[in-house]
Amino acid sequence: MSHLMGIDVGTTGVKALIIDENGKVCASAVEEYPLSTPHPNWAEQNPEDWWDATIKAIRNVLEKSGGASVEGIGLSGQMHGAVFIDRDGKVLRPCIMWCDQRTAKQCVYITETVGEDRLFELTCNPALTGFTAPKIVWVKEEENEVFRKTYKILLPKDYIRFLLTGVFATEVSDASGTVLFDVKKRRWSKEMLSALEIPEDLMPEVFESPEVSGRISAEASSLTGLPEGTPVVGGGGDQAAGAVGNGIVREGIISSTIGTSGVVFASCDEVRVDPGRRLHTFCHAVPGKWHLMGVMLSAGGSLRWLRDAICHEEVREAKEKGIDPYEIMTEEASQAPPGCEGLIFLPYLSGERTPYPDPDARGVFFGLTLRHKKEHLIRSVMEGIAYGLRDSLELMKGIGAKMSEVRASGGGARSSLWRQIQADVNNLEMQVISVDEGPAFGVALLAGVGVGIFNNVEEACSRTIKVKETIKPIKENVTIYERYYEIYHSLYPALKDTYKHIAELT
């Protein structure tokens, strides 16, 4: 029996898993690390923490698997981060992460330098604060000594690839999120790099996602226990990899993912763009395909904030019972009616990206009254996140994206209440699949393609992923949510100028 490994360098920790050729998970392990917020709206991590956690996770999962022989490895990770390393492979500064919002000025500079229309023509995307290019420009402007010492700029998973293989490489799906990549031609944009005065040799070589990019080095073998020479494929950014892990590899199948961020993802057989420039168009992890993506920055992160801010009793009770605090919270939320008696939550705790690319946006509880209790607050957060995801679905419908199936994934998919809320808010059937391992599972499948276990990505998904449950919308809830969604959708435009004023004050 052949075995494959997937490694996902996430926002809160590294996950490593081993699957067999039928998609059965043989073992998994997670190692966590901290997030630093040295200033308001900043978010950084120490890449060396990722590497320490990766070593531990690999050793742990190999031990749990009973010494399974791994034939190929896939890498996934949080997108858009910028890791600056010198000629000796040393990290020059903490990684500026995907949710960091410091680069509004640099986004304006990029747009004005390249030209708004030309930027979109070259990269299929606008310059947004979360993307990589504005971070590079910020370091160039604010920490020029770091920039002058930089030998390579790597995305998070690709820093781990370098330490595993000694190779500087990335792949098309993650590179798409840099705003330095020609998404249509699947290669670095020489024009973008030249316009921003970023030397092309600072960027790593680009591979297709299932393509072998390097092999485990002797040094990495001694640290991790992986056999020297084990192939490592390109892998994918966490969203494209997670889509592969959910079987979102053909047109018509949509995924709605609630993790720390929230993502609506649609596979496309050709380049498809949003004329309003609110959706992202990236290369898919499937060779020759692309994808549309809408991203909200604080999805599950909003519920985690609520847990940490006011749900101390639930956390304590969960610890006593040995269960997840979210189980208790969602049970409380189920006691509140759909629509929460007029309470609506705007989940813009870290600014927002889709459909409002606004780093100044803030979270709001709208409609609070003396009748509202904690269960209303919890449910309104869950509903607000579902409304935000619907924003992206509506945009995709507007440009002709096919929607025959919607699959729930991420931590939010584990909650039956949240799955039902999504089905009702969207008035679409939601599917739950047989695996729930996220990006690590997807890149393990990509590794299987790279080493010849599967002929292509579509075959890998069809052999290993099955639909196990379908959640149908409840008609009366659909009617309620349709009314409240209209109000939700009207609130950001009404508050936009006020958000900017608060940002100026803080």
CATH number of the domain at 421, please.
3.30.420.40
pLDDT tens figures, 450-463: 999 999 999 999 99
Mapped onto helix, strand or coil, the DSSP state of residue 204 is: coil
DSSP 8-state secondary structure symbol assigned to residue 472: P
pLDDT in the model for residue 298: 93
For the chain, the C-alpha Rg in angstroms (whole number) is 22
- Do both 345 and 450 map to the same domain? no
For residue 184, the tally of other CB atoms under 10 A from its CB is: 17
Please give the distance of CA 46 from its chain centroid, rounded to a whole number: 19
Give yes or no for a contact between 263 and 277, defined as CB atoms under 8 angstroms apart.
no
**Spans in the chain with pLDDT lower than 70:** none
- Do both 446 and 413 map to the same domain? no
pLDDT in the model for residue 437: 87
Give the residue among 7, 179, 166 at the shortest CA–CA distance from 78: 7
Contacts of 26 (CB under 8 A, 6+ apart): 3, 17, 18, 19, 20, 64, 65, 68
- Do both 464 and 478 map to the same domain? no
pLDDT in the model for residue 397: 92
Task: Write out the residue range of the structural domain in which residue 410 sits.
Answer: 300-432+474-505
- Do both 93 and 240 map to the same domain? yes
pLDDT in the model for residue 123: 97
- Phi-psi category of residue 341: left, alpha or beta, with phi > 0 → left and psi -120 to 50 → alpha: left
For residue 265, being part of any structural domain is answered with no
For residue 294, being part of any structural domain is answered with no
- Do both 449 and 417 map to the same domain? no
Number of domains in the chain: 2
Contacts of 334 (CB under 8 A, 6+ apart): 375, 379, 417
Distance, first Cα to last Cα, the chain: 58
**Paired residues of 84 in beta bridges:** 153
Give yes or no for a contact between 144 and 152, defined as CB atoms under 8 angstroms apart.
no
For residue 289, being part of any structural domain is answered with no
- Do both 173 and 95 map to the same domain? yes
Taking the C-alpha atoms of residue 304 and residue 35, their distance in angstroms, rounded to an integer, is 14
Look at the pTM and tell me if it is higher than 0.85: yes
Give yes or no for a contact between 314 and 307, defined as CB atoms under 8 angstroms apart.
yes
For residue 285, being part of any structural domain is answered with no
> In the structure encoding, which two tokens stand for residue 492, read together?
């950001």
Residue spans of alpha helices (H) in 172-265: 172-175, 190-195, 218-224, 238-245
- Do both 230 and 132 map to the same domain? yes
Give the residue among 498, 506, 46, 4 at the shortest CA–CA distance from 244: 4
- Do both 178 and 199 map to the same domain? yes
For residue 45, being part of any structural domain is answered with yes
Residues involved in catalysis: 238
- Do both 462 and 483 map to the same domain? no
Give yes or no for a contact between 177 and 183, defined as CB atoms under 8 angstroms apart.
no
For residue 207, being part of any structural domain is answered with yes
Give yes or no for a contact between 153 and 77, defined as CB atoms under 8 angstroms apart.
no
Using CA atoms, how far residue 171 sits from 44, 76, 132, 210, 294, in Å, is 23, 10, 15, 9, 20
- Do both 63 and 212 map to the same domain? yes
Give the residue among 107, 105, 102 at the shortest CA–CA distance from 128: 107
pLDDT in the model for residue 357: 86
pLDDT in the model for residue 182: 98
- Do both 309 and 442 map to the same domain? no
Burial of 114 (0-12, 13-18, 19+ CB in 10 A): buried
- Do both 371 and 442 map to the same domain? no
Give yes or no for a contact between 151 and 145, defined as CB atoms under 8 angstroms apart.
no
